[in-house]
Structures are given as structure tokens and as C-alpha cells.
């Protein structure tokens, strides 16, 4: 059975036709938001993480209908005025992007952390990324990237270069 | 951590250039095989065997075919009976031809029985449940010992299988190498240790599961867009299995979401391709996470016995390694992974005159082994480096010092290099670069070896210890692996670099671009890298055996040098100067006089002006040796003596990979490999029911390390230069994964005095070992 819900995806409110049993992940990928990756379907890997009303969630673990009327941010919505989000830039600069499959989900969890804690410790970052599995990096450069982004977002780009 | 000292004077090589694909990946562009969205695609689902071993007596697909939305059902009755190996290796593959697309006998729980192609994934899955199969159960073999029992059931009795060493006794392959007289050497030794270690079933867990799309192009050719490490092997093997000419298939490798060896295997391409050929429709197959665990590939579990004999001064007199490898139901990589357990480990200790390696690979009715980062060396090093630690303890020596006394050095060789190859003898070689001594110095200093070893610092129930191990790997398969590169010059003085080399997330597109940029005197931004499309790029064996930096990198270097010579010839005419005095730098050709002409002017003249020609070249490279990278590994652990839990508090991995073309990328390889190895050492284990069913095929129940589970892994790259490497580089991708199991086992011993010989070192195993010791 299908129905139509309203989702605000990356700031654009739109009607979306969904099946009642469909996950938000399936709907977002079908709508072309390919940054939202499909890694496990059980909420364990975090590759499908998006922001739902500002909080990072695994989009495979929520029915699309449960997101009716709510705001979703994916990596596609992070670029402003042709500039990447500081965390995306930090991930690239730190060498934290290897295969890149987990990168979008990891970025969303990092942004969630930075929205709550502008000055995280290394342990804060590790805890925030606990739900985003990465098999390539050993997390070292991912953690560095989140810490670097925090510096940039706090003090402007110049502070982060030190 | 930061740009290292630019010791070789390179402009692009040795610098942390951002990856050429990082922007697309960080912005979520549709760059993976599953990202291309097509409403008209058929979706493929698989029916898997519930039996560990059974003959399919009958299979009735009529109810599935009648389901609305089902386009096609494939079984052994309507698919090619061609025998092949799923191993994505060079031709001829050194793995037995012991499987068909669908086998009439199923050989493990999870073996492929049928596939359904339907309009939606849901319909395809529903239809698999409507396939009626009658099985005739056969006795199953669920361990190495059962496989080798005198009256063991035969797993591959089919007459059509070829390349099996002794099918009647479930033996896939045998390697016996005897150098000198190892028994005499052991008898002549002052100190002898004899240790046996066993490793578990483990899975690669790429975050992107296997995924393939197939479609027909406008000329009716089959196109496979596939997440693979071996596009050219995919083309060759699919052509054979589907009885198509190679030229009727195009394989495109997009971005790959991690492989680690799991994608050096032809698993989905033949089925997806056949669906497209039969229906004319685009088709997509994607493994679910449980299928990825059970039905893709695993690391071969091994039982490895090592005997070491040493003189009183600690130098090795005799080394004996005996390996039994479990390849599961099919022999994919069965011979070569077992061979590497010896060939990538024993040359490290080349002092002993008497060396023996005896290895066997056996079939069982369990999931299938395959290539997995480390490729047998990982399993071999557990026993070898545990034995070296035991030897140090028996001699009353520092484990670091015992390694220093015995490891191979520059200018030295080992008879093992020539004795064990991959399906044929190996290649003699002399080590041209080895900075292990400095790796040991730095690692010992960083971990605090002198202060912490034997101290057994105690914090409540937690007892601390430090452990170490050393390692080598190779750089490609000598005399086997070939890579090629094409470079052509464009109007604006930029270049296209076309490579068959297969970036599976390692950053090889970037580092190969850096090599080309270095030779051609341009920034990386002027190199447009395109990789792994069998229609568009030259051949390369693919991403495995730590080959890309060395083999493909040397091909790129050669192609770039040929292009440079062509550019210099044009510049010579333009500048009216001797070509020998012309260099390329800063996007210009610069004569001995200091006169300059830009690459853009050279390109425009060549394409549109005088002596018109496309400046460009293709070059190939095959290694006549396989220079080993080296690694010294140190860890500090804490063991909870009440619960048996082990925590890794600090990890230092010091690597000699020659010149790191891109230090960030090289460090990332070491950091990721160590993380993967820590999971393998402590938590990762496929568990089986008494009927051979995997009990934990989810990321909840099969625990890979998450960020809070790991210390900040400290990867340190030492200055080194490999004379035969491109810009002095060797490989680095695999070696790190060999280290955590022995390093952590040895650290546990330092902390609590017990030796763990079965991985992973779960709390239960550690507690049992502690209990047994008291």
C-alpha cells in the first residue's frame, strides 16, 4: 500500500510517494540522494546516517512514513555557495576518505556532534562516530578531521591551519 | 602525520596530495555500482542451501516463475555446466576448476541453489521461497580433522572438476619444500620451541557489499558495472563461463566501497550477465549483509605448527613450518593462500641453513575461503612470531634482540624466495631495501619497551603488558603480475592517464597520478586519471598481492618517461637546443640555456602545427622480483584477570614501504590494516552451528572495531628507498594486518604469562587460559 508524505529534504519541502513498509533509506536512495548508502539494513554500520530534525539517525531503521512532516539533511545538502561543509573539507584534507563509502554517514554523525559540542575531545569524537563503521581508515584520520573541523568552525579557517 | 622531509627532492611524489576522487566521495556523488538508479532494472535474489552437503534430487521452479513480476529463474538445470574457479587470478588460474554457476550438489550452508530475477527486490525474494527443492542429504565435513579422517566423506567427487591435488582425500593442494635437513638442524640446536596456532573463520566486511549491474549497450554488447578488484579477470572468466567472446563484454569498475580481497572473486557478474543476456534487460544483484558474510568469501582458517631450533647465542639453526589450510567448500585461492603462509614469512628469518615448509589445503563443508588482505601471511605470522617470542623466553633474551639477530638485511636473500611461488616456483631475489633495524628502534622507543616489558603494571583487575612482532610481505607476484598504463597529452598541456590498475579505495588513482605528474613536471591537477574500464584502459591484473604501487606504478613511470622523451624532442626543435639538456618542470620544457617553452605550446604545435602527432605512450611492467615492505609492530595491552577481557591501550606500527608516494595514503593503509587486524585478534569470528550454519552473519553479532574500540593507532613510515620501485616505492597495503594477532598474543603473555594460540582472543579464551595456568 502506498501513500504520500511530506518531507523537507535539504531545505526543500516536497510530497513523496512511499510504500507503508519502506524505510527512509530506500525512499531517499530512490529519490536520488545517493550519498545515503546501503550497508547492512540493521542499523549497525551507519552508512545510511542522515540528520532528522538535526539529529543523526540511521535511515534504514526508520519507516519513511515516520518521517512525514520532518526535515532531513543529507550530504547533498551541505554545500553552501559552492563551498563544502568544513567537515567535508577536513575529511579530504586529513586523508580520511579512503573508499569513501562510509564518508557521508560519518560526516552526518560528525556534524551532529559539532552542533551539540563545539569543542569536542578526541574521546567525544570517537563516541560520536561509534555507530559509523569504517573498514579502511582505523578511524585515525576521521577523528583528526572532526577535530580539525571543530577548530575551523569555532575560530574561522585560519585557526585550523596550525 | 604531516609532509615528511622531502628527501628525494620530489615535487609531487612524497606529498599529501588530496585524493583525486575525494571530492566526489565526500559529496556523495553516485559513483558506486549500486548508485546508478534505473526504474527498469530487474533485481536478482538468491536461494541458498540450508544443507551443509546435499545432492539436489529435484528442483521445481514453476511456482516461482508463475509469480507476477518474475522474469527469470536460474538453476543448475538451465545454466552453463562449465567448470571454473571464482578466484580472480591471472590465466591460467592456480585454483582448481571445482564449481559451476549453480552446482547440482550443494557443499555448504549458504551455497547457491537458484537465482530469481524480478521487477522488484521484494518479488525476487518472495519467489525464492516458491522454489521447491528436494535434497538428498550427504554426510558433511565440518573441520580440518574431519576432512583428513581416513573415511571422510568426499566433497568433490565430480568427474568434471580439474586441478584438485587429491579429491578422494579432500586435499586441494600440497606444497613441500625442504632446504637442507631440518630434522638434523633441530637435533643440532641448543634450544627448540614447538608451537601450534589456529586461526578462525573471518570475513572482510567491506562496508559496501558485492554489487553488480549488467546491461546491453547499443551494439548488444554485455556491460558489467561491478564492484571488483579484478575487472580484466572478470571479463575473461565471465566470457568463458557464458561462452561469449571477450570482445562482446565490457567491464567497468566504478568507485569500490572496500574490497580487502573479497572482491578478487567472480561471484555475481556471471549470474547478472546471464540474466541480462536472457532477458535483454538491465539487471542488478547486490548481496545483503548476511549473504556477504556467508556466501561471499572468508579468510582461510589455518592450523600452523612452527618448530624453531636456535644456537645458544640466539641465532636460528632450523625453521620448520607445517600448515593445514581450510578452503571450505570450494578451492578458491586454496593453493596460493597456503603457499603465502610460508613464502611471505620464512624469508624474514634467513639465518637458518635448514628450513622446511610443508603445506596442505583441505576441503570442508563450510563457507569458502578466498583472498583476504595478508593472504596467508597473516595466518603464518601468528605461529611464527609466537614461536619467536617463545624462543626469546627460553633463551632469556629480549624478544626485540632475538629478532635483530635473525632478520634478513639489505644484500641478503633466502632460498624460500625461489622455492615457493604462486602455483609455480618463485623468483630468486636479493633484498634491495630493508630498514627493519630502524623500525625496531623507533617502535621500541615509541611504545616504551625498555620501561614497560616485564613490569606487569597493575590497575585493579587490569594487568598491563607489551608485545611485539616483525613482518614482511611482497610487492606484486614476480614474473606473473603485469600492469600497463597509457598517457596522452591534451591541448592545454594536461594529460590523460589511463590505467587498468584498480583503485578499490586505497588511493591508487591518486598515487599513480602523482608518479605521472612527477615525471612530466606538472601538478597532479594536470593529470586526468581514469582507471579500470576494459574498453578504455590498458590491461592490469588488478588490485591484489600488494601489486599496484610497485607493478602498476612502474608501468606509469615508464609510460610517463616515454611521453617525456617525446615532449623533449618537440621542445628541442622549438628551442633549437640539444634534447639532452632539456628538463621538464613547472609545466615547461626548459633548455640548458634557460629558455622555456610551455607544455601547452608544445601540445598545440604537436596537435595542430608542425610535425603533427599525438604525444602519448603505453608501457607495461612485470616485476622480476617482489621487493618486500617491512614492519615492526608494538602494542601495549591491558588484561582483566577477572573477566579475561583484553584492551589495546597503545599501538605503534613502524613501516618501511620505500618512498611513500602519498604519506597520508600510506599511513591510512597501515592504520586501516592494523585496525582490521585488531578486530581479527580480539573479536571477529564466524561461529557455526553443529550443522555448519553461520550463527552470527550480522554486524551486530560479528563485531568489527568501531572508533571507541581502538587506541589511536600510530603508523610511522621510515625513510627508505627501493632501487627497483617507482620513485623508490614498495607496497604497503597488506603488511599491517599480519601484525596484531602475534603482537597482542605476545603482549598478553608479557602481562599475564599465558600464551593464546587460538584466535580471536576473546574474554572466554583468555579466562580459560588463565584458569588453565593456575
pLDDT, one tens digit per residue, over A45-77 is 999 999 999 999 999 999 999 999 999 999 999
A29, A49, A76: which is the final residue of a domain? Answer: A76
A161 inside domain: no
Asked whether residue B504 falls in the same domain as residue B597, the answer is yes
Q: Where are the beta strands (DSSP E) in B403-490?
A: 458-459, 462-472, 482-489
Q: CB of B563 within 8 A of CB of B603?
A: no
- What angle is formed at CA B277 by the lines to CA B271 and CA B283, rounded to 5 degrees? 60
Give the separation between CA A50 and CA A35, rounded to whole angstroms.
9
B243, B263, B295: which is the final residue of a domain? Answer: B295
B303 inside domain: no
Asked whether residue A72 falls in the same domain as residue A90, the answer is no
SS3 readout for A84-120: CCHHHHHHHHHCCCCCCCCHHHHHHHHHHHHHHCCCC
Query: What is the domain range of residue A56?
Result: 2-76
Mutation to test the B interface, candidates A101, A105, A145, most B Cβ within 10 Å: A101
pLDDT at B1 over 70: no
Give the separation between CA B705 and CA A127, rounded to whole angstroms.
13
A41 interfacial to chain B (CB closer than 8 Å) = yes
Alpha-helix residue ranges (DSSP H) falling in B396-531: 399-406, 415-419, 436-447, 449-452, 508-520
CB pair distance less than 8 Å for B206 and A103: no
Asked whether residue A52 falls in the same domain as residue A116, the answer is no
Which pLDDT belongs to residue B139? Answer: 98
Asked whether residue A56 falls in the same domain as residue A116, the answer is no
Asked whether residue A90 falls in the same domain as residue A110, the answer is yes
Collect all residues of chain B within an 8 Å Cβ-Cβ radius of residue A47: 207-208
Mean pLDDT of the region B315-336: 98
Burial class of residue B28 in the structure, from the number of CB atoms within 10 Å of its CB (0-12 exposed, 13-18 middle, 19+ buried): buried
Q: CB of B354 within 8 A of CB of B185?
A: yes
pLDDT in tens, B227-284: 999 999 999 999 999 999 999 999 999 999 999 999 999 999 999 999 999 999 999 9
Asked whether residue A72 falls in the same domain as residue A7, the answer is yes
B520 inside domain: yes
**Beta-carbon count within 10 A of B200 CB:** 18
**Mean pLDDT over the full length of chain B:** 97
Number of domains in chain B: 4
Asked whether residue A90 falls in the same domain as residue A149, the answer is yes
CA distances from B757 to B301, B302, B386, B754 (A): 13, 12, 8, 10
DSSP states of B248-283: GEEEE--B-S--TTTTSB-SSHHHHHHHHHHH-S-E
CATH of the domain at A44: 3.10.20.30
CB pair distance less than 8 Å for A40 and B29: no
Asked whether residue B176 falls in the same domain as residue B314, the answer is yes
CATH of the domain at B551: 3.30.365.10
Asked whether residue A115 falls in the same domain as residue A142, the answer is yes
Collect all residues of chain A within an 8 Å Cβ-Cβ radius of residue B38: none
Helix crossing, B436-447 with B399-406: angle to 10°? 170
Collect all residues of chain B within an 8 Å Cβ-Cβ radius of residue A29: 37
| Max Cα–Cα distance, chain A, nearest Å | 56
Which pLDDT belongs to residue B6? Answer: 47
Mean pLDDT of the region B187-192: 98
Asked whether residue A51 falls in the same domain as residue A91, the answer is no
C-alpha grid cell for residue B609?
602545427
A60 inside domain: yes
CB pair distance less than 8 Å for A135 and B206: yes
Query: What is the domain range of residue B343?
Result: 140-196+310-429
Which pLDDT belongs to residue B2? Answer: 36
Residue in B with minimal Cα distance to A31: B37
- What angle is formed at CA B313 by the lines to CA B447 and CA B317, rounded to 5 degrees? 100
CB pair distance less than 8 Å for B27 and A76: yes
pLDDT in tens, B160-177: 999 999 999 999 999 999
| Residue B648 neighbours by CB under 8 Å, 6+ apart | B635, B636, B637, B678, B682, B710, B711, B740, B744
pLDDT at A158 over 60: no
Asked whether residue B361 falls in the same domain as residue B241, the answer is no
Asked whether residue A71 falls in the same domain as residue A93, the answer is no
A24, A56, A76: which is the final residue of a domain? Answer: A76
CATH of the domain at A135: 1.10.150.120
Q: CB of B730 within 8 A of CB of B660?
A: no
Please tell me the distance in Å from B101's CA to the nearest CA on chain A.
26
| Cα B634 to chain centroid, rounded | 23
Mutation to test the B interface, candidates A99, A110, A146, most B Cβ within 10 Å: A99
Asked whether residue A9 falls in the same domain as residue A60, the answer is yes
B264 inside domain: yes
CB pair distance less than 8 Å for A98 and B22: no
Asked whether residue B406 falls in the same domain as residue B540, the answer is no
pLDDT at B36 over 90: no
pLDDT at A161 over 80: no
Asked whether residue A91 falls in the same domain as residue A66, the answer is no
Number of domains in chain A: 2
Give the separation between CA B759 and CA B302, rounded to whole angstroms.
10
A20 interfacial to chain B (CB closer than 8 Å) = no
What are the two backbone dihedrals, phi and then psi, of residue B497, each rounded to the nearest 5 degrees? -110, 115
A134 inside domain: yes
C-alpha grid cell for residue B749?
603473555
Q: CB of B605 within 8 A of CB of B623?
A: no
CB pair distance less than 8 Å for B32 and A132: no
B604, B622, B640: which is the final residue of a domain? Answer: B622
A96 inside domain: yes
**Beta-carbon count within 10 A of B596 CB:** 16
Please tell me the distance in Å from B21's CA to the nearest CA on chain A.
9
| Residue B289 neighbours by CB under 8 Å, 6+ apart | A39, A40, A41, A42, A44, A45, B209, B697, B698, B699
DSSP B98: -
Grid cell 578526541 — which residue? A122
A162 inside domain: no
Mean pLDDT of the region B6-27: 91
DSSP states of B669-688: HHHHHHHHHHHHHHT----B
Which pLDDT belongs to residue A157? Answer: 54
Asked whether residue B290 falls in the same domain as residue B332, the answer is no
Nearest to B486 by CA among B613, B616, B623, B621: B616
CB pair distance less than 8 Å for B707 and A129: yes
CB contact residues (below 8 A), chain A span 87-146, against chain B: 88, 91-95, 97-104, 107, 122-123, 125-127, 129-143
A76, A108, A131: which is the final residue of a domain? Answer: A76
A140 inside domain: yes
Q: Which of B35, B207, B676 sits opposite A102 (nearest CB)?
A: B207
**Beta-carbon count within 10 A of B640 CB:** 18
pLDDT-based confidence at A156, cuts 50/70/90? low
pLDDT in tens, B515-572: 999 999 999 999 999 999 999 999 999 999 999 999 999 999 999 999 999 999 999 9
pLDDT in tens, B667-708: 999 999 999 999 999 999 999 999 999 999 999 999 999 999
CB pair distance less than 8 Å for A76 and B28: yes
Asked whether residue B368 falls in the same domain as residue B510, the answer is no
| Residue A133 neighbours by CB under 8 Å, 6+ apart | A39, A44, A45, A46, A47, A102, B205, B207, B699, B704, B706
Q: CB of B56 within 8 A of CB of B305?
A: no
Collect all residues of chain B within an 8 Å Cβ-Cβ radius of residue A75: 26-28
Give the separation between CA A84 and CA A35, rounded to whole angstroms.
14
B210 inside domain: yes
Asked whether residue B154 falls in the same domain as residue B253, the answer is no
Please tell me the distance in Å from A104's CA to the nearest CA on chain B.
6
A61 interfacial to chain B (CB closer than 8 Å) = no
C-alpha grid cell for residue B688?
557455526
Strands B249-252 and B222-226: parallel
Helices vs strands, H then E, count in chain A: 6, 5
pLDDT in tens, B296-312: 999 999 999 999 999 99
Give the separation between CA B172 and CA B169, rounded to whole angstroms.
9
Which pLDDT belongs to residue A44? Answer: 98
Asked whether residue B97 falls in the same domain as residue B213, the answer is yes
C-alpha grid cell for residue B687?
561461529
CA distances from B756 to A42, B33, B383, B741, B762 (A): 33, 42, 11, 10, 10
Q: Which of B28, B209, B675 sits opposite A75 (nearest CB)?
A: B28
Collect all residues of chain A within an 8 Å Cβ-Cβ radius of residue B19: 92, 95, 97
Asked whether residue A97 falls in the same domain as residue A72, the answer is no
pLDDT in tens, A124-138: 999 999 999 999 999
Asked whether residue B91 falls in the same domain as residue B145, the answer is no
| Max Cα–Cα distance, chain B, nearest Å | 87
Grid cell 511530506 — which residue? A6
Which pLDDT belongs to residue A155? Answer: 84
ipTM of the complex: 0.96
B301 inside domain: no
What is chain B's Cα-based Rg?
27
Mutation to test the B interface, candidates A26, A30, A108, A136, most B Cβ within 10 Å: A136
Collect all residues of chain A within an 8 Å Cβ-Cβ radius of residue B288: 41
Give the separation between CA B633 and CA B511, rounded to whole angstroms.
25
Query: What percent of chain B is predicted at pLDDT more than 70?
Result: 99
B622, B648, B670: which is the final residue of a domain? Answer: B622
A160 inside domain: no
Report the b/e string of B71-85 with b at 16+ CB within 10 A. Answer: bbbbbbeebbebbbb
Which pLDDT belongs to residue B7? Answer: 53
Mean pLDDT of the region B9-37: 95
B10 inside domain: no
A139 inside domain: yes
Amino acid at each position: 500500500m502506498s501513500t504520500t508524505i511530506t518531507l523537507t529534504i535539504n531545505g526543500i519541502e516536497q510530497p513523496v510517494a512511499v510504500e507503508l513498509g519502506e524505510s527512509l533509506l530506500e525512499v531517499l536512495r530512490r529519490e536520488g540522494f545517493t550519498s545515503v548508502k546501503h550497508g547492512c539494513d540493521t542499523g549497525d554500520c551507519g552508512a545510511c546516517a542522515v540528520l532528522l530534525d538535526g539529529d543523526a539517525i540511521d535511515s534504514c531503521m526508520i519507516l519513511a512514513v515516520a518521517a512525514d512532516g520532518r526535515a532531513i539533511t543529507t550530504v547533498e545538502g551541505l554545500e553552501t555557495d559552492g563551498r563544502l561543509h568544513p567537515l567535508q573539507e577536513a575529511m579530504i584534507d586529513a586523508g580520511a576518505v579512503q573508499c569513501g563509502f562510509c564518508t557521508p554517514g560519518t560526516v552526518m554523525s560528525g556534524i551532529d556532534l559539532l552542533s551539540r559540542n563545539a569543542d569536542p575531545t578526541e574521546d567525544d569524537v570517537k563516541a560520536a562516530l561509534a555507530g559509523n563503521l569504517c573498514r579502511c581508515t582505523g578511524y585515525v584520520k576521521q577523528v583528526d578531521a572532526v577535530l580539525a573541523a571543530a577548530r575551523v568552525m569555532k575560530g574561522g579557517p585560519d585557526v585550523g591551519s596550525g | 602525520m604531516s609532509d615528511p622531509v622531502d628527501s628525494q627532492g620530489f615535487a609531487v611524489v612524497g606529498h599529501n596530495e588530496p585524493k583525486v576522487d575525494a571530492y566526489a566521495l565526500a559529496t556523495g556523488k553516485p559513483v558506486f555500482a549500486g548508485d546508478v538508479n534505473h526504474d527498469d532494472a530487474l533485481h536478482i535474489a538468491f536461494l541458498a542451501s540450508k544443507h551443509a552437503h546435499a545432492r539436489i534430487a529435484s528442483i521445481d521452479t514453476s511456482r516461482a516463475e508463475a509469480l507476477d513480476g518474475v522474469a527469470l529463474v536460474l538453476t543448475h538445470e538451465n545454466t552453463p555446466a562449465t567448470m571454473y574457479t571464482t578466484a580472480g587470478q591471472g590465466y591460467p588460474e592456480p585454483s582448481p576448476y571445482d564449481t559451476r554457476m549453480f552446482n547440482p550438489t550443494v557443499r555448504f550452508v549458504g551455497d547457491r541453489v537458484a537465482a530469481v530475477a524480478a521487477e522488484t527486490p521484494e518479488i525476487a525474494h518472495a519467489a525464492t521461497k516458491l522454489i521447491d527443492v528436494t535434497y538428498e542429504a550427504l554426510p558433511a565435513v565440518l573441520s580440518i580433522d574431519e576432512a583428513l579422517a581416513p573415511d571422510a566423506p568426499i566433497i568433490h567427487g565430480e568427474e568434471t572438476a580439474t586441478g584438485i591435488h587429491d579429491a578422494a582425500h579432500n586435499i586441494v593442494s600440497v606444497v613441500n619444500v625442504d632446504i637442507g635437513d631440518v630434522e638434523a638442524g633441530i637435533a643440532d640446536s641448543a634450544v627448540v620451541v614447538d608451537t601450534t596456532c589456529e586461526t578462525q573463520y573471518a570475513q572482510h566486511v567491506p562496508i559496501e557489499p558485492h554489487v553488480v549491474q549488467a546491461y546491453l549497450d547499443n551494439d548488444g554488447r554485455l556491460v558489467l558495472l561491478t564492484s571488483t578488484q579484478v575487472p580484466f579477470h572478470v571479463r575473461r572468466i565471465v566470457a568463458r563461463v557464458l561462452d561469449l567472446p571477450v570482445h562482446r563484454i565490457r567491464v567497468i569498475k566504478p568507485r569500490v566501497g572496500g574490497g580487502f580481497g573479497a572482491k578478487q572473486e567472480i561471484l555475481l557478474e556471471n549470474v547478472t550477465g546471464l540474466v541480462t543476456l536472457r532477458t535483454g534487460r538491465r539487471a542488478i544483484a547486490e548481496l545483503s549483509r548476511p549473504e556477504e558474510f556467508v556466501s561471499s568469501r572468508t579468510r582461510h582458517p589455518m592450523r600452523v605448527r612452527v618448530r624453531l631450533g636456535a644456537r645458544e647465542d640466539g641465532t636460528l639453526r632450523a625453521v620448520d613450518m607445517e600448515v593445514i589450510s581450510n578452503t571450505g567448500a570450494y578451492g578458491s585461492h586454496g593453493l596460493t593462500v597456503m603457499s603465502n603462509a610460508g613464502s611471505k614469512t620464512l624469508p624474514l628469518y634467513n639465518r637458518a641453513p635448514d628450513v622446511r615448509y610443508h603445506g596442505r589445503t583441505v576441503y570442508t563443508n563450510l563457507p569458502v575461503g578466498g583472498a583476504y588482505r595478508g593472504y596467508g601471511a597473516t595466518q603464518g605470522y601468528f605461529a611464527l612470531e609466537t614461536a619467536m617470542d617463545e624462543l626469546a623466553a627460553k633463551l632469556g633474551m629480549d624478544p626485540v634482540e632475538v629478532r635483530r639477530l635473525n632478520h634478513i638485511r639489505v644484500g641478503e636473500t633466502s632460498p624460500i624466495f625461489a622455492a615457493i611461488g604462486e602455483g609455480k616456483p618463485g623468483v630468486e631475489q636479493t633484498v634491495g631495501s630493508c630498514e627493519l633495524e630502524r623500525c625496531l628502534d623507533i617502535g621500541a622507543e615509541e611504545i616504551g619497551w625498555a620501561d614497560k616489558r616485564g613490569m606487569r603494571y597493575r590497575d585493579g583487575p587490569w594487568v598491563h603488558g607489551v608485545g611485539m612482532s616483525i613482518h614482511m610481505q611482497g610487492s606484486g607476484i614476480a614474473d606473473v603480475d603485469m600492469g600497463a598504463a597509457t598517457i596522452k597529452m591534451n591541448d592545454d598541456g594536461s594529460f590523460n592517464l589511463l590505467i587498468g590498475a584498480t583503485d578499490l579505495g586505497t588511493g591508487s588513482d591518486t598515487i599513480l597520478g602523482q608518479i605521472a605528474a612527477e615525471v612530466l613536471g606538472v601538478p597532479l591537477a594536470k593529470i586526468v586519471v581514469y582507471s579500470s574500464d576494459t574498453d578504455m584502459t590498458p590491461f592490469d591484473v588488478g588490485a591484489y598481492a600488494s601489486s599496484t604501487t610497485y607493478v602498476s606504478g612502474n608501468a606509469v613511470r615508464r609510460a610517463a618517461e616515454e611521453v617525456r622523451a617525446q615532449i623533449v624532442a618537440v621542445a628541442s626543435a622549438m628551442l633549437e637546443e640539444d634534447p639532452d639538456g632539456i628538463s621538464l618542470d613547472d609545466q615547461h620544457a626548459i633548455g640548458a640555456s634557460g629558455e622555456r617553452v610551455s607544455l601547452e605550446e608544445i601540445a598545440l604545435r604537436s596537435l595542430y602545427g608542425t610535425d603533427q602527432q599525438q604525444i602519448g605512450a603505453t608501457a607495461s611492467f612485470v616485476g622480476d622480483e617482489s621487493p618486500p615492505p617491512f614492519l615492526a609492530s608494538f602494542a601495549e595491552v591491558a588484561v582483566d584477570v577477572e573477566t579475561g577481557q583484553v584492551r589495546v591501550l597503545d599501538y605503534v606500527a613502524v613501516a618501511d614501504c620505500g618512498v611513500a608516494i602519498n604519506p597520508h595514503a600510506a599511513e591510512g593503509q597501515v592504520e586501516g590494516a592494523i585496525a582490521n587486524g585488531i578486530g581479527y585478534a580480539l573479536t571477529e569470528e564466524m561461529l557455526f552451528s553443529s550443522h555448519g550454519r553461520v550463527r552470527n552473519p550480522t554486524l551486530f553479532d560479528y563485531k568489527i572495531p568501531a572508533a571507541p574500540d581502538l587506541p589511536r593507532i600510530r603508523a610511522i613510515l621510515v625513510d627508505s628507498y627501493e632501487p627497483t620501485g617507482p620513485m623508490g616505492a614498495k607496497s604497503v597495503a597488506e603488511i599491517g594486518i599480519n601484525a596484531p594477532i602475534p603482537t597482542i598474543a605476545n603482549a598478553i603473555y608479557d602481562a599475564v604469562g599465558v600464551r593464546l594460540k587460538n584466535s580471536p582472543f576473546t574474554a572466554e579464551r583468555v579466562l580459560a587460559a588463565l584458569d588453565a595456568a593456575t
